[in-house]
């Protein structure tokens, strides 16, 4: 059976991928509302020098956030501004 059929039978409309995106965006909103001196916002906006090990994916957490926000039809600026309202 296909996953779509199983979700329809169970009346579950949200996919696991959508749940992960929702939680990721919730955490993004939480971190953007934090005081800039706290560790999570500083870690989110920092840039680490160097390269990744061979075989590691080049995608970062912020890249996933940008993709999730783009899927909603927003930009980073508008998403950040809307979380602070």
Q: What is the pLDDT of residues 14-63, one digit of tens each?
A: 888 889 999 999 999 999 999 989 999 998 888 888 887 788 777 888 89
What is the CB-side half-sphere exposure of residue 67 using CA atoms within 13 A? 11
CB contact burial 6-37 (16+ within 10 A = b; e otherwise) = eeeeeeeeeeeeeeebeeebeebeebbeeeee
pLDDT at 84 over 80: no
Better-predicted residue by pLDDT, 64 or 3: 64
- Residues 21, 79 contacting (CB under 8 angstroms): no
**Confidence (pTM):** 0.74
Predicted confidence at residue 26, as pLDDT, reads 92
Q: Token pair for residue 83?
A: 């979380």
pLDDT score at 82: 85
Alpha helices (H) in the chain, listed in sequence order: 3-9, 16-33, 39-45, 61-71, 76-83
More confident residue, 30 or 1: 30
The per-residue pLDDT for 51 is 80
CA distance 85 to 82: 5
């Amino acid at each position: 059976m296909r996953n779509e059929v199983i979700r329809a039978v169970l009346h579950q409309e949200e996919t696991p991928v959508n749940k992960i995106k929702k939680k990721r965006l919730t955490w993004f909103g939480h971190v953007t509302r934090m005081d800039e001196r706290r560790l999570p916002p500083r870690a989110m906006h920092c840039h680490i020098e160097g390269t990744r090990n061979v075989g590691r994916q080049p995608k970062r957490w912020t890249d996933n956030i940008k993709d999730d926000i783009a899927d909603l039809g927003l930009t980073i600026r508008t998403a950040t501004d809307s979380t602070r309202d």
